[in-house]
Amino acid sequence: MNILIVDDETDVEILFRQKFRKEIRSGAMTLNFAFSGQEALDFLGQDNPPQVVYVFSDINMPGMTGLELLKRIKERFPQINVSMISAYGDSENYEKAIDSGAKEFFTKPIDFEYLKNEIAALMNKHKSNKP
Amino acid sequence: MDFLLLVFAFRYLQKHEQTKNLYPQWVDLFFKGFIAALILFIIELTLDAPDVFLRWFAHVVNFAIVYAAFNRQEFSPIKVYVNAFLPIVVVYFVQDVTKLISTEFYNSYETWFDTAALFAWIWLFAQYFINRKQRKALEMERIKAAQQELQFKQSEKLKDALEIQVAERTAEITAQKEELLKTLNELKSTQSQLIHAEKMASLGELTAGIAHEIQNPLNFVNNFSEVSSELIDEVEEERAKTGDERDEKLVSEILADLKDNLLKINHHGKRADAIVKGMLEHSRSNSGEKVLTDINALADEYIRLSYHGLRAKDKSFNADFKLNLDPELPKIPVIPQDIGRVLLNLINNAFYAVNEKAKEKAKEAQEAFQPVVTVTTSVSQNKSGLSEALIVVQDNGHGIPDHIKDKIFQPFFTTKPTGAGTGLGLSLSYDIVNAHGGELKIESEPGEGSSFSIFLPIQE
């Protein structure tokens, strides 16, 4: 399963790669990283239809915000699941994200257990969808 | 004719000012003398032949008056006329004496005596008119003098009034001066309070940015330590395995990751530390000490603080920012918290400008507008060939209209809505840059954006 993580903090990559070491090693999961909204859109546009099934995006990014990215992804690739990660767990951001079609809304620091469960559920669904 | 003289003499004395003022009791006496002389004069005129006795009586009275004029104060006014009428008195006296001694001699020389009497009368009138003219001239002089006196008194009065006015005005001005001094002092203390308030306000703007900037590295510290602990569990799991089952390659991979993680924890801990130190420096009252400062690091720190601060305050806010930092820029001696404030002010303004334009463009739903703020550092040369650090804060907002370009550095000038800006930011920035021996310049193209250039000397 191909997952894209979008955050302007580059260390996020190291963190996620270690957190999902086993899944990556087993080949159950492929992690991709983009450090801005534009970079994420470019990446998704590379393949048609994109390999990525799940996007996790930070909201607070210079340039294109996560919310804007969410809108754009949902416009172009409505099949991709998108969840938001924000440093601020305020209702305004939450409502905007959910209204724009976000699947989940995580607040920082990320609860990796919850995230893992979410991904595991998705992976099962993914597997069962495949013939 | 002697009595006619007496009529004039008594009348004159009776009417004279001196008699009226100093010797009022004499007025009546002189009046009686006047009446008596008048009656005797009429009697003499009515008689065909002059009465010898009356004539001699007139001579005696005349001489008595001449005598009195010089010896009695009451008669002194007549003194001025003595030389006028004395010839007549003398001529008539000599005439009568001659008649008494020798009537024959008198008769043969009667025409002579008449001529002498005529001249004496002419003399009297001439004297009288001359005297009257002189008196009139004197009177005029006296009136003039009195007028001058009056004028002098009036001007004295005026002078006194003016002096009082001057004193009053002086008191008023002194009071005003005192009041102005008081106001000035109040203004001075208000000014320092405002400068302090501005500093605190900019710190307030910073807090949200600071919170975010600290939260991020703290999250990393927590996440990396958690994941490290998990990695150790994995290593122990591997170590529990025996022989070929144990994957030594995995163990060394995990150990390498662990080391990296510790470095990451350290890095993010230092990042949070630097932000807290920066905040403390910003809020600290001016120690005014210049230290060698990495301008690139300062610019990087403040653009992030500003961005995250604005993001935290206004969820709709977004803009891109770019940093073009010249790695060749040496550390320069500045008061870091002061230059930090300048950067913060300029960057906040730039973000505000691009955001205002973005809001308008969104309303008009026109072509896509990419709000971006760029901070560029470089080494430049000034006119005298000395190296300077150049920091340019550029935005693609609305720009500054020409008519307010001159005003933007004035204290309290702001284009922001009431309450949104103190109007002190740019004014303080200007003062701070000047105090560093540097220059703050603006270039702006209305509709295209603005760029603020800070020139700072590299050497002290």
Which residue positions in chain A have pLDDT lower than 70?
A: 126-131
Candidates A60, A100, A107, A110: best to mutate against B (most CBs of B within 10 A) is A60
pLDDT of residue A35: 92
| Contact status of A68 with chain B (Cβ, < 8 Å) | yes
Q: Considering only alpha carbons, which residue of chain A is nearest residue B218?
A: A109
Q: How far, CA to CA in Å, does B27 sit from each of A6, B60, B78? A: 135, 22, 14
Q: Do B227 and A9 touch (CB under 8 A)?
A: no
Q: Is B106 helix (H, G, I), strand (E, B) or coil?
A: helix
B65-107 pLDDT, tens digit per residue, is: 888 888 888 888 888 778 788 888 888 888 888 888 888 888 8
Q: For residues B424 and B442, is the Cβ–Cβ distance under 8 A?
A: no
Contact B320, B375 (CB under 8 A): no
Contact A62 B260 (CB under 8 A): no
A112 half-sphere exposure, CB direction, 13 A CA radius: 16
CA distances from B46 to B8, B89, B107 (A): 19, 21, 23
Give the distance from CA B448 to its chain's centroid. Answer: 44
* Neighbour count for residue B134 (Cβ, 10 Å): 11
Q: What is the pLDDT of residues B372-395, one digit of tens each?
A: 999 999 998 877 888 899 999 999
| Domain with A25 in it | 2-129
Q: What is the pTM of this model?
A: 0.53
**Cβ atoms within 10 Å, residue A78:** 8
Q: Which residues of chain B have pLDDT under 50?
A: none
Question: What does the pLDDT read at residue A112?
Answer: 84
State the Cα–Cα distance between residues B210 and B206, nearest whole angstrom. Answer: 6
- CA distance to partner chain A, nearest, from residue B301 (Å): 14
Spatial separation of the C-alpha atoms in residues B153 and B141, rounded to whole Å: 18
Q: Complex ipTM, two decimals? A: 0.84
Q: Which token pair is A48?
A: 């048609």
Cross-chain Cβ contact B318/A90 below 8 Å:
no
In angstroms, the separation between the Cα of residue B321 and the nearest Cα of chain A is 7
Identify whether A49 is preceded by a cis peptide bond (ω within 30 of 0).
yes
Is the peptide bond preceding residue B217 cis, with omega within 30 degrees of 0? Answer: no
SS3 B397: coil
Comparing CA positions, the residue from A4, A73, A6 lying closest to residue A32 is A4
Q: A5, A7, A14: which to substitute to probe chain B, counting the most B Cβ within 10 Å?
A: A14
Contacts of A38 in chain B (CB under 8 A): none
Question: Measured between CB atoms, does A19 come within 8 Å of chain B?
Answer: yes
User: Do B376 and B394 form a contact (C-beta atoms < 8 A)?
Assistant: yes
- How near does any CA of chain A get to the CA of B412, in Å? 31
Q: For testing the chain A interface, which of B210, B227, B300 should be mutated: the one with the most A CBs within 10 Å?
A: B227
Q: Phi then psi for A89, rounded to 5 degrees?
A: -90, 40
Distance CA B342, CA B360 (A): 27
B8/B294 Cα distance (integer angstroms) = 123
Whether residue B79 contacts residue B70, with contact meaning beta carbons closer than 8 Å, is answered with yes
C-beta separation of B19 from B30 below 8 A:
yes
Closest of B124, B68, B42 to residue B91, by C-alpha: B124
Query: In terms of CA atoms, which chain A residue is nearest residue B257?
Result: A18
The per-residue pLDDT for B61 is: 86
Q: How many domains does chain A have?
A: 1
The answer to whether B282 touches B340, Cβ cutoff 8 Å, is: yes
Which pLDDT score, from 0 to 100, does residue B282 have? Answer: 63
The reported pLDDT for the residue numbered A131 is 46
Asked if the Cβ–Cβ distance from A11 to B268 is below 8 Å, we say: yes
The ranges assigned to domains in chain B are: 2-155, 289-460
Within 8 A of B265 by CB-CB distance, chain A residues are none
Whether residue B212 and residue A60 make contact (CB cut-off 8 A), yes or no, is: yes
| Residue A79 CB neighbour total at 10 angstroms | 9
CATH number for the region B289-460 comes to 3.30.565.10
CB atoms within 10 A of CB B88: 21
Q: Does A113 touch chain B (CB under 8 A)?
A: no
pLDDT at position B367: 67
Q: Which of B216, B231, B253, B347 is most worth mutating to test chain A (most A CB atoms within 10 A of its CB)? A: B216
A14 contacts B315? CB cut-off 8 A: no
Contact A62 B321 (CB under 8 A): yes
Q: Give the number of other CB atoms < 10 A from CB of residue B298.
A: 21
Q: Is B283 helix (H, G, I), strand (E, B) or coil?
A: helix
Contact B219 A11 (CB under 8 A): no
Task: Check if the beta carbon of residue B311 is closer than 8 Å to that of residue B411.
Answer: no
| pLDDT per residue as tens digits for the range B308-360 | 888 877 777 888 899 999 999 999 999 888 898 899 889 999 999 998 888 88
- What's the pLDDT tens digit per position in A47-83? 877 888 899 999 888 888 898 899 999 999 998 999 9
Provide, for chain A, the percentages of residues in helix, strand and coil under a 3-state DSSP scheme, each rounded to the nearest 5: 50, 20, 30
In A, which residues are within 8 Å of B268 by CB distance? 11
Please check whether residue A14 touches B, CB under 8 A. yes
Work out the angle at residue B328's Cα, subtended by the Cα atoms of residues B214 and B455, and round it to the nearest 5 degrees: 80
CB contacts, 8 Å: A11 with chain B: 220, 264, 268
Distance CA A86, CA A98 (A): 13
Does B320 sit within 8 Å of A11, measured CB to CB?
no
What is the pLDDT at residue B284? 62
State whether A11 and B227 contact (CB < 8 Å): no
Q: Residue A26 is part of a domain; what is its CATH number?
A: 3.40.50.2300
Q: Which residues of B touch A (CB under 8 A)?
A: 212, 215-216, 219-220, 222-224, 226-227, 230-231, 234, 257, 260-261, 264, 268, 307-308, 311-312, 315, 318-321
